[in-house]
Amino acid sequence: MEKMKNLLALSMLILFSISVNAQFSLDNKTLVTIGDEKVTVGEFMKVYNKNNNQASAYETSTIEDYLDLFINFKLKVKEAEELKMDTSKVFQKELNSYREQLAKPYFVDENVNEALLEEAYERMQKDIRASHILIMVDENASAEDTLVAYNKIIEVKNKVAGGMDFSEAAVAFSEDPSVKDREAVPNQQGFRPGNKGDLGYFTVFNMVYPFETAAYSTELGDVSEPVRTKFGYHLLKINDIQDAMGTVQVAHIFVALRPDASTEDSARKAEKINNISEKIKDGMTFEDAVVQYSEDKGSARNGGQLSKFTCNRVVPEFVETVSNMEINDISEPVKTMYGFHIIKLLSCETPGTFEEEAPKLKERIAKDQRAQKSEEAVIQKIKAENGIKVYEKAKDELYQQMDTTVFQGKFKAETLTAFTKPILKIGDTKYSQYEFAKYIENNQAPQEVIDLEVYLNRMLAGFENEMCLKYEDQHLEENYPEFKDLMQEYHDGILLFNLTDEKVWSKAVIDTSGLETYFNAHNEDYMWEKRVDATVYEIRDKDILQQVQKIIDMNNNDGDIALALEQDSIQKKVKIKPGYYEKGDNAYVDQVEWKQGLSDQINSDVENLVVFVKIREVLKPTQKSLNEARGLATADYQGYLEKAWVQELKEKYPVNINQEVLQKLLEQNK
């Protein structure tokens, strides 16, 4: 029994192998020759399978019919290529435009994008309040300056870890100007207290991405590791994490208090706001209190209403208060750096579901710094697959020729045309020193003078990335057969459209004499069936039914009927539809007997509508004029032109179908 099973398995394997080999063998057979071009079974079936909605259920007639269409398609494309239409600037521009769009998915890492989307949605569920300490260092600073800044931030972190209060450390060491108090300057600016590093609340997209990531990665009450942004090194302390407040609108009653107010002024203002609060509790409406007492005259004119805001747009006291309120709640007095407030919550829109928020998040991600992560992943993949090498000697040689004109945006690469040594290699392609110099020229911009080597290294990194993307773009057709096939489809499709438009579609419209000749030769195909000259009267008010019927009976001309209806001020309740009607043109005309005179009343069974049909004349079948049949005749003329054109092409490029191969294909796909 076991031996029988093994023999059966072996025979099935052999049969499968024979079937696969037969299919492979047939795929390489020439199915049709068009002029000097041979088309294999495999090439034809690839197109057939893609365009046939039932590719898994072949029918003999379907394959044969599609082969005719395929041959006609190939004939037209071949003719367009013979006419060099694919070499025109207009064609190349159009094809390249499509290629740019079709290539975009190959330069996006969908896994990275999906992860960024999920990360952004998760982060938007929380609002974070954080403080920070900043040690500034330019993003293009030299290694020495960067190390100095890093050592400073580490020293500050050690002090905080040793027990120093974070806000005190911020005042003592942070280089963020908002940390310290801003002293008053007579006639210029008032006193403004520093924030001691407190940035208030924020959520996703409110901060630069590395800072945001550090904030959402640090536990409540903890201090982060140093994080580098374009501003320098930061330490973050997470002061609060709460459910997202969302987008909020409030109204407020405001009592102003200067930041440098005296104790007496503070006490007086506090008493005022407390008294207003008590009046509201005793029955005074919030809106009346706004008008009578609020010192924010701008919002008072609108019931105290402020513009909608998110957590990063207001002082943290507002966020903390609003987050614990229900719609139409009125708060106790709240003190901020601006004074005292009584807040009424008017509306609150919290984040929706992932499906609801995803489209907006995708747009934000595309414009945000984090969008670079997808491109970076693609570039790393290109480097890994193809290898990348920088020729250090050639690089140093070029660097020695550069000067500080790049910081003025005035560097010209033409001075370095003799520098042709390879500076970079990706895969099998080398890029010269001069190409890099041109890149510098095209990307330079006036800026602060920094270490020249640091600047050039940054430029070289950008050059590497751009050349990686360029290299990949140049090899898309080679690396991705499906992209190559798609580009061929667009290439052939554009040629087909342009040439068919010239030979058939536009020609049929422009060639008026040819159309007239065709129409006269086929005029029996364009006949009016039996028709009536009739008018349909639709009445939408049964109360005026007899009045309208009387007007129709008394007047033969629709113009006179319309005038009479207008004189009786009922014209808006009656629709007059004159015309020549064939069977099927109008349901009400079809219902009546086709003889001269006014029909009986027809009542609609689906709406409040009464209809009369007046038939003036019954017309026998007649031939249409060219103007009456122009649309249909033009379409038929286009078909005639295309058929004649295809026949010409078959004579120019003889078509030979290998019937033996075709029969095998049909048998194989029964």
From the options 2.60.200.20, 3.30.450.20, 3.10.50.40, 3.40.50.300, give the CATH code of 247-350. 3.10.50.40
Residue 337 has pLDDT above 70, yes or no: yes
Q: DSSP secondary structure string, 279-347?
A: HHHTT--HHHHHHHH-S-HHHHTTTTB---B-GGGS-HHHHHHHTT--TT-BPPPEEETTEEEEEEEEE
231 has pLDDT over 50: yes
pLDDT in tens, 66-120: 999 999 999 999 999 999 999 999 999 999 999 999 999 999 999 999 999 999 9
Predicted confidence band at 607 (pLDDT cuts at 50, 70, 90)?
Answer: confident
Q: What are 487-514's pLDDT values in tens digits?
A: 999 999 999 999 999 999 999 999 999 9
Higher pLDDT, 24 or 225: 225
Calculate the CA dihedral of residues 625, 630, 632, 633 and round it to 10 degrees: 80
pLDDT tens string 424-468? 999 999 999 999 999 999 999 999 888 899 999 999 999 999 999
Cα angle value 540/544/548 (rounded, 5°):
90
Q: Which fold has domain 1-82+491-523+626-670?
A: Triger factor/SurA peptide-binding fold (1.10.4030)
How is domain 125-243 classified at the CATH fold level?
Chitinase A; domain 3 (3.10.50)
Residue 340 is predicted with a pLDDT of: 97
**Whose structure tokens read 């080398």?**
430
**Do the domains 1-82+491-523+626-670 and 125-243 sit in the same CATH topology, yes or no?**
no
Q: What is the mean pLDDT of the chain?
A: 92
Nearest to 310 by CA among 178, 131, 117, 124: 124
245 pLDDT higher than 50 = yes
The string of pLDDT tens digits covering residues 360-395 is: 999 999 999 999 999 999 999 999 999 999 999 999
- Is residue 7 very low, low, confident or very high in pLDDT (cuts 50, 70, 90)? very low
Q: Where are the domains of the chain?
A: 1-82+491-523+626-670, 125-243, 247-350, 387-477, 527-623
**Percentage of the chain modeled with pLDDT above 90:** 84
pLDDT single digits (tens) 116-174: 999 999 999 999 999 999 999 988 888 899 999 999 999 999 999 999 999 999 999 99
CA distance 577 to 287: 59
Q: Which CATH number fits domain 527-623: 3.10.50, 1.10.3470, 1.20.120, 1.10.10?
A: 3.10.50
CA nearest 571: which of 604, 600, 598, 538?
538
Contact (Cβ atoms closer than 8 angstroms) between residue 245 and residue 136? no
Q: What is the pLDDT of residue 53?
A: 58
Question: Residue 189 forms beta bridges with which residues?
Answer: 185
Tens-digit pLDDT profile for residues 288-300: 999 999 999 999 9
pLDDT at 56 over 70: no
pLDDT of 139 reads 87
Q: Is residue 16 over pLDDT 60?
A: no
Q: Which pLDDT score, from 0 to 100, does residue 61 have?
A: 56
pLDDT above 50 for 182: yes
pLDDT in the model for residue 23: 52
> What is the structure's pLDDT at 55?
44
Please, which pLDDT band fits residue 663 given cuts at 50, 70 and 90? Answer: very high
Query: What values do phi and psi take at 221, rounded to 5?
Result: 85, -10
Maximum separation of any 2 CA atoms in the chain, in Å: 108
Contact 328, 249 (CB under 8 A): no
Q: Given this model, what pLDDT does residue 24 score?
A: 54
Q: Report the distance separating Cα 100 and Cα 89, nearest Å.
A: 16
Q: What is the per-residue pLDDT for 604?
A: 84
The alpha carbon torsion through 305, 310, 316, 319 (nearest 10 deg) reads 70
pLDDT exceeds 80 at position 10: no
Dihedral pair phi/psi, residue 139, rounded to 5°: -65, -20
Tell whether the model's pLDDT for residue 547 goes beyond 70.
yes
Q: Please choose, from the candidates 634, 122, 95, the residue with its C-alpha nearest in 3D space to the C-alpha of residue 361.
A: 122
